[in-house]
Amino acid sequence: MAVAKQKLSVPFDYDKYLRKDKLPHIWCPGCGHGIVLKSLLRAIDNKELSKNDLCMVSGIGCSSRTPGYVDFNTLHTIHGRAFSFATGLKLAKPSLKMIIATGDGDAMAIGGNHFIHTCRRNIDMLIIVYSNAIYGMTGGQFSPTTPIGSIATTSRYGNVEPPFDICEMAKAAGATFVARGTAYHTQELERTFTEALGHKGTAVVEVIDSCPIYFGRMNKQRGASEMMENIEKNGTVSVKQVDKLPAEKTEGKLVRGILHRVEKPEYCEQYDKLIVAKATK
Amino acid sequence: MADRYEIRFSGSGGQGMILAGIIMAEAASIFGDKNAAQSQSYGPESRGGASRAEVIIADAGVDIDYPKATAIDCMLALTQTACTSYYSDVKKDGILLIDEDEVTDIPEGDFKVVKYPILRAAREDIGKSIVGNIISLGMITELTGIVSREEMENAVLSRVPKPFLELNKSALTLGFEKASALKKEL
Amino acid sequence: MAAKKKLMQGNEACAEGALYAGCKFYAGYPITPSTEVAEIMSVELPKRGGKFIQMEDEIASMAATIGGSLAGLKSLTATSGPGFSLKQEALGYACLTEVPCVVINVMRGGPSTGYPTGPSQSDIMQAKWGTHGDHPAIALTPAYVQEILDETVRAFNLSEKYRTPVVVLYDEIVGHMREPITIPEPGDLEVIDRAKPDCDPEDYKPYDDKHLIAPLAPFGEGYRFHVTGLNHKEDGFPTNDSEMIDINNRRIMQKIDDNIDDICKNDESNLEDAEIGIFAVGSTSRSAKFSVNAARKKSIKAGLLRPLTIWPFPDKAVGELAEKCKVIIVPELNLGQMVNEVKRVAAGRCEVVGIHRVDGEPIKPAQITELIEKYS
């Protein structure tokens, strides 16, 4: 079993970050969202962040239900606009530590414009894009990250639209920390989140996740574990190895790890430094 | 003064018609003790196109309800287009002040027409065509008497940047003097 | 006295009113004819410890405004017709999640891009029914520059008091015209701040149905609660319990319905003995007042009911007018929005006739006078 290869860490008290009375969560058996959340909570613990300062904002979709389960200041908003609500919150109260939980449809389709401009401003927030190439909440329609040829309830003949590369998009738009992880590589994801939470500016972490119920069933991937194995064996390659491996081993694979990290002025700091300083002179 | 005194400034975008309206309203209501309402209509262009500003003046304590012109006491037209489009609201015995170089097709009616080469005077006598609106304000002040020279001067000077104070003062004085002479002919 | 008097544009007075009310956050997007509000806020807010942000679109502006308010700041956005349409989904979110905020809509000619520099009153119904679902609506309709300042302060007060978005509707004429106004000194006008909880964070319920309006804690101050646009329980978490959904959906309407007298505000002139009533808002009400004054000089018994709160609709005042008048004339810069509400309330007690104009020109006093004289 692929899962057995992962070394289990010391027992971790997830409960202190969760609203236990709101569980069980709504995610389907085999969905990777809960695994991603576990890595996030461990990263938050690594950074010793205060629950009173943490603010998780989401839009609409399966991943966007995450804020309901975590014991922070939490805001579940409307489809695609989590970035904009979060921008208002962060600018109004810069002491908040912002985390956005969004999906490939929420962030790349209906929220695409806000995603781009949030990255451009380099406002301090961690954006986690749970990327499972499908609209799960509405029952399995193709999304902007669905591969060409894939079957969805609105692409019964196979999807003809080329997918976005979320990380390239984030980088091009100006995000100063861009990384990709997976719901399989949980310890690596924890490290990535830890780094991202320590970064000042817009940090985007795309997490390759799986939706066995909709994407898997329609695309002849038999179950959750098969999809997980697929992420591990066929889907991705570590950024540390990508240059060392022969081309045939990396072709068509998404690169995992921290892909882009630069230091640039952060929006709220710039606001104080440039605008407020001049206005109050 | 009646319940309402109506002034319309018209020209093309960029000639400062809206600013002229604001200054007239301030002369009346801030530097004078009257009530005023200033409004405008304009197209999408910042320059060119027809531009029109209106000021309704009333005695202190008299509400100005309808803020647009109904029967105009005094109208300025700096272009032919503006004149032709807007003159028809000028009331009987009202004043139509035109730039005589620009407005050659002078409308006929039971109002009085005052002609002066306003923009040429701005260019040649003052040296800046941009002050055509200020000369106009000086002339309207003198022709109508609706605000005093002092109120108008205070209003103009409060609106212009320091380096241009003298320039605008000269333009205003020119307007006062020219209108004072022309008024005798009315 | 003279020092405090200032010639101000309607949109300037709006910004001045917002600042007076303690607005500390503005998110917006440029749109004619409301842009001056944003321009002034961009200059003034940073001087006063406030935040201004120009967002990437109207939707984001509304969302950021709600975010700013959840952080505890009094928040404002300003827009016009097309932008108001784009804001509607997030506006509904603010209604359901009960987040105070003020939305200025300087109405312009529509539909669609319409006539950006022309006056209009065609968003009266959008202010009530623009967002989906049953929801509370408060909309104010100032008509004079001084009133824009005063009513913007009142909009913040109502919003903070009732934890609901408040829309200020005025047309381009009032938004862009200038009049001498008196800037109030601190203390001259009432300023209301939202109630904050004083309970233990463990016991905090942001939608406690024991209160019609529960206190709202700002994010990041120890009250870790959940806000969602899903139907929710009193603790803020989503629910499928039909009884809970019903209670909450009714409560957010009831908090307005129970306080109509506090929210509604009318200006009446010459109504005591009026036989011909006029019902108008904004620049149109100024034309109407001109016509009423002219009619009175001819001994025609005309009077004006000028609501400063158009939503909730002034049923009581219109009902009284319908009792005493033989006709109510409703001039409006649209093809018939308020007139149908007046007909609903009048319910046959008097004749109700509209005057409608959608050519980008104001309704002129002569149009109203003609009708007054016809009915005299």
When divided into structural domains, chain B yields a total of 1
| Alpha carbon distance B174, B126 (integer Å) | 9
What is the strand order of the sheet A177-182 is part of?
A236-238, A254-261, A177-182, A202-208, A125-131, A97-103, A54-58, A73-76, C226-228
- Residue A8's pLDDT band, with cuts at 50, 70 and 90, is low
Task: Say what the pLDDT of residue A233 is.
Answer: 82
> How many angstroms separate the most distant Cα atoms in chain B?
43
CB pairs < 8 Å spanning B and C? 64
Residue A218 belongs to a domain: yes
Task: Say what the pLDDT of residue C134 is.
Answer: 96
Q: What is the DSSP string of C316-357?
A: HHHHHHHHH-SEEEEEESSSSSHHHHHHHHHTTSSEEEEEE-
Against chain B, the chains showing at least 3 CB pairs within 8 Å are C
Rg for chain C (alpha carbons), in Å?
21
Do residues C140 and C115 touch, judged by C-beta distance below 8 A? Answer: no
- Whole domain around residue B20: which residue ranges? 5-116+144-159
Q: Hey, what are B80's tokens?
A: 């032919």
Do residues C331 and C363 touch, judged by C-beta distance below 8 A? Answer: yes
Residues 6 or more apart whose Cβ sits within 8 Å of residue C211: none
Q: Strand C115-119 relative to strand C101-109: parallel, antiparallel, unpaired?
A: antiparallel
Residue B82 belongs to a domain: yes
The nearest CA of chain B is from the CA of C183 a distance in Å of: 13
Q: Does the distance separating the beta carbons of B42 and C117 come in below 8 Å?
A: yes
Q: Does the distance separating the beta carbons of B29 and C283 come in below 8 Å?
A: no
Task: Say what the pLDDT of residue A1 is.
Answer: 41
The nearest CA of chain A is from the CA of C297 a distance in Å of: 53
CATH 3.40.50.970 fits C2-182, yes or no: yes
How far is Cα of residue C87 from the mean position of the Cα atoms in its chain?
15
Query: Considering only alpha carbons, which residue of chain C is nearest residue A51?
Result: C224
Given a cut of 60, whether residue A5 has pLDDT beyond it is no
| Alpha carbon distance C93, C77 (integer Å) | 15
| Alpha carbon distance A191, A46 (integer Å) | 9
Q: Does the distance separating the beta carbons of A96 and C220 come in below 8 Å?
A: yes
Q: How close are the terminal C-alpha atoms of chain C, in Å? A: 43
> How many angstroms separate the most distant Cα atoms in chain C?
69
SS3 C62: helix
- Average per-residue pLDDT for chain B: 94
Among candidates C176, C180, C366 on the partner chain, residue whose Cβ is nearest the Cβ of B30: C180
Q: What is the 3-state secondary structure (H, E, C) of chain A?
A: CCHHHCCCCCCCCHHHHECHHHCCCCCCCCCCHHHHHHHHHHHHHHCCCCCCCEEEEECCCCHHHHHHHECCEEEECCCCCHHHHHHHHHHHCCCCEEEEEEEHHHHHHHCHHHHHHHHHHCCCEEEEEEECCCECCCCCECCCCCCCCCCECCECCCCCCCCCCHHHHHHHHCCCEEEEEECCCHHHHHHHHHHHHCCCCEEEEEEECCCHHHHHHHCCCCCHHHHHHHHHHHHEEECCCCCCCCHHHHCCCEEEEEEEECCCCCHHHHHHHHHHHHHCC
A53: amino acid identity, one letter: D
Of A259, A258, A257, the C-alpha closest to A238 is A257
Residue B42 belongs to a domain: yes
Query: Considering only alpha carbons, which residue of chain C is nearest residue A89?
Result: C67
Q: The tokens 């695309």 sit on which residue? A: A219
Neighbours of B58 (CB within 10 A): 20
Do residues C207 and C233 touch, judged by C-beta distance below 8 A? Answer: yes
| Alpha carbon distance A4, B98 (integer Å) | 93
CB pairs < 8 Å spanning A and C? 135
How far is Cα of residue C169 from the mean position of the Cα atoms in its chain?
5
| Alpha carbon distance A46, B108 (integer Å) | 86
Q: Hey, what are A225's tokens?
A: 């574990």
Task: Say what the pLDDT of residue C210 is.
Answer: 87
The nearest CA of chain A is from the CA of C185 a distance in Å of: 22
Neighbours of A231 (CB within 10 A): 20
Provide the chain C residues 243-302 that lie in CB contact (below 8 A) with chain A: none
Task: Say what the pLDDT of residue C132 is.
Answer: 97
Q: Does the distance separating the beta carbons of A88 and C75 come in below 8 Å?
A: yes
Residue A4 belongs to a domain: no
| Alpha carbon distance C350, A68 (integer Å) | 54
Q: What residues in chain C have their Cβ under 8 A from chain B's Cβ atoms? A: 2, 5-7, 116-117, 173, 176-180, 283, 286-287, 289-290, 293, 362, 364-366
- Residue A9's pLDDT band, with cuts at 50, 70 and 90, is low
The CATH number assigned to the domain with range C266-375 reads 3.40.50.920
Q: Residue A116: what are its φ and ψ, rounded to 5°?
A: -60, -45
Residue A1 belongs to a domain: no
| Alpha carbon distance A128, A33 (integer Å) | 11
When divided into structural domains, chain A yields a total of 1
Given a cut of 80, whether residue A7 has pLDDT beyond it is no
Torsion angle defined by CA atoms of residues A39, A45, A50 and A52, in that order, rounded to the nearest 10 degrees: 40
| Alpha carbon distance C21, A16 (integer Å) | 40
Domain with CATH 3.40.50.920 in chain C: 266-375
Residue B186 belongs to a domain: no
Do residues B28 and B36 touch, judged by C-beta distance below 8 A? Answer: yes
Instruction: Give, for all 376 residues of chain C, the pLDDT tens digit.
Output: 444 799 999 999 999 999 999 999 999 999 999 999 999 999 999 999 999 999 999 999 999 999 999 999 999 999 999 999 999 999 999 999 999 999 999 999 999 999 998 899 999 999 999 999 999 999 999 999 999 999 999 999 999 999 999 999 999 999 999 999 999 999 999 999 999 999 999 999 999 988 899 999 999 999 999 999 999 999 999 999 999 999 999 999 999 999 999 999 999 999 999 999 999 999 999 999 999 999 999 999 999 999 999 999 999 999 999 999 999 999 999 999 999 999 999 999 999 999 999 999 999 999 999 999 999 9
Residues in chain C: 376
Interface present between C and A (3 or more CB pairs within 8 Å): yes
Residue B9 belongs to a domain: yes
Among candidates C173, C177, C286 on the partner chain, residue whose Cβ is nearest the Cβ of B65: C286
Residue B131 belongs to a domain: no
- Whole domain around residue A85: which residue ranges? 13-279
Is the model more confident about A252 or about A157? A157
Q: Hey, what are A151's tokens?
A: 């079957």
Of B165, B137, B135, B168, the C-alpha closest to B151 is B137
The verdict on C222 touching A (C-beta cutoff 8 Å) is yes
Residues 6 or more apart whose Cβ sits within 8 Å of residue A81: A59, A111, A114, C59, C60, C63, C90
Against chain A, the chains showing at least 3 CB pairs within 8 Å are C
- Residue A230's pLDDT band, with cuts at 50, 70 and 90, is confident
Do residues C138 and C309 touch, judged by C-beta distance below 8 A? Answer: yes
| H or E element that contains C195 | none
Half-sphere exposure of C97 (CA within 13 A, CB side): 28
Task: Say what the pLDDT of residue B1 is.
Answer: 63
Share of chain A above pLDDT 90, in %: 91
Q: Hey, what are B91's tokens?
A: 């009331």
Residue C244 to residues C207, C209, C235, C240, C247, Cα–Cα distance (Å): 11, 10, 11, 8, 5
Given a cut of 80, whether residue A2 has pLDDT beyond it is no
Given a cut of 80, whether residue A154 has pLDDT beyond it is yes
Is the model more confident about A264 or about B3? A264
Task: Say what the pLDDT of residue A10 is.
Answer: 66
The nearest CA of chain C is from the CA of B70 a distance in Å of: 8
- pLDDT tens, residue by residue, B74-91: 999 999 999 999 999 999
Q: Does the distance separating the beta carbons of C225 and A92 come in below 8 Å?
A: no
The nearest CA of chain A is from the CA of C68 a distance in Å of: 5
Mutate to test the interface with C, among B64, B68, B151, B156 (most CBs of C within 10 A): B68
Query: Considering only alpha carbons, which residue of chain C is nearest residue B38?
Result: C178
Do residues C346 and C328 touch, judged by C-beta distance below 8 A? Answer: yes
Domain with CATH 3.40.50.970 in chain C: 2-182
Residue A265 belongs to a domain: yes
Q: Does the distance separating the beta carbons of C56 and A114 come in below 8 Å?
A: yes
Q: What CATH code is carried by the domain that includes residue A210? A: 3.40.50.970
- pLDDT tens, residue by residue, C256-298: 999 999 999 999 999 999 999 999 999 999 999 999 999 999 9
- pLDDT tens, residue by residue, A32-91: 999 999 999 999 999 999 999 999 999 999 999 999 999 999 999 999 999 999 999 999
Residue A122 belongs to a domain: yes
Average pLDDT for residues A217-226, to the nearest whole number?
Answer: 91
| Alpha carbon distance B74, B6 (integer Å) | 7
Q: What CATH code is carried by the domain that includes residue B51? A: 3.40.920.10
Average pLDDT for residues B93-119, to the nearest whole number?
Answer: 97
Given a cut of 90, whether residue A235 has pLDDT beyond it is no
Chain A residues in contact with C51 (beta carbon < 8 A):
91-92, 271
Q: Does the distance separating the beta carbons of B22 and C7 come in below 8 Å?
A: yes
- pLDDT tens, residue by residue, B12-71: 988 999 999 999 999 999 999 999 999 998 666 666 678 899 999 999 999 999 999 999
| Alpha carbon distance A167, A205 (integer Å) | 8
Average pLDDT for residues B113-137, to the nearest whole number?
Answer: 97
Do the interacting molecules here have an ipTM over 0.90? yes
Average pLDDT for residues B131-146, to the nearest whole number?
Answer: 98
Query: DSSP assignment, residue C279?
Result: E
Residue A6 belongs to a domain: no
Among candidates B25, B35, B66 on the partner chain, residue whose Cβ is nearest the Cβ of C365: B66
Interface present between A and B (3 or more CB pairs within 8 Å): no
The verdict on C111 touching A (C-beta cutoff 8 Å) is no
